[in-house]
Amino acid sequence: MNEYRNKSHRPPDMGKIGALEIDKKPLHVQLKHYDDLVGKFYPALGDYFRQQFPTPQNFFKARSAYVKSTAAWSVIGYIMGLGDRHGENILIDIYSGETFHVDCNMLFN
C-alpha cells in the first residue's frame, strides 16, 4: 500500500463506492460511473508481479499460475455457489503467484 501511495495514488473511499447503487440507473449513467471508478484505481498488481518476479521466466510462470488458479477458483466458486468473494478472502502465494481462497482451503484442508 505504501508503494501505491508513493506513486501519488490514493485508494478511493470504498464506503462511498458501495453506496452508489447505480444498478437501477440508465446504462449511460452506469458507464460514466464505471469510467470514473476506473480512473481512481491504479493497476498495482502488475507492479507487484514485476517486483516480486523480476526475471522474464519467473514473471511468465507466476503470471500463468495466477491466471490459471484464478480461473479455476472462479469456476469452483461458481459451482459451489460461494458468495462473499473479496480481497480479504483471496490470497496470492508470494512464491508461485497462485491465488487461493481462504474459506475453501480452510474447509477442504
* Residue with more model confidence, 108 or 25: 25
**Which residues, at least 6 apart from 52, have a Cβ–Cβ distance to it below 8 Å?**
62, 94, 97
Query: What does the angle CA 8 – CA 12 – CA 31 come to, to the nearest 5 degrees?
Result: 115
**Average pLDDT of the chain to the nearest whole number:** 79
pLDDT of res. 19: 54
Residues 52-103 pLDDT 10s: 999 999 999 999 999 999 999 888 888 877 766 777 778 899 999 999 877 6
42 class by beta-carbon count within 10 Å (0-12 exposed, 13-18 middle, 19+ buried): middle
> What pTM was computed for the model?
0.63
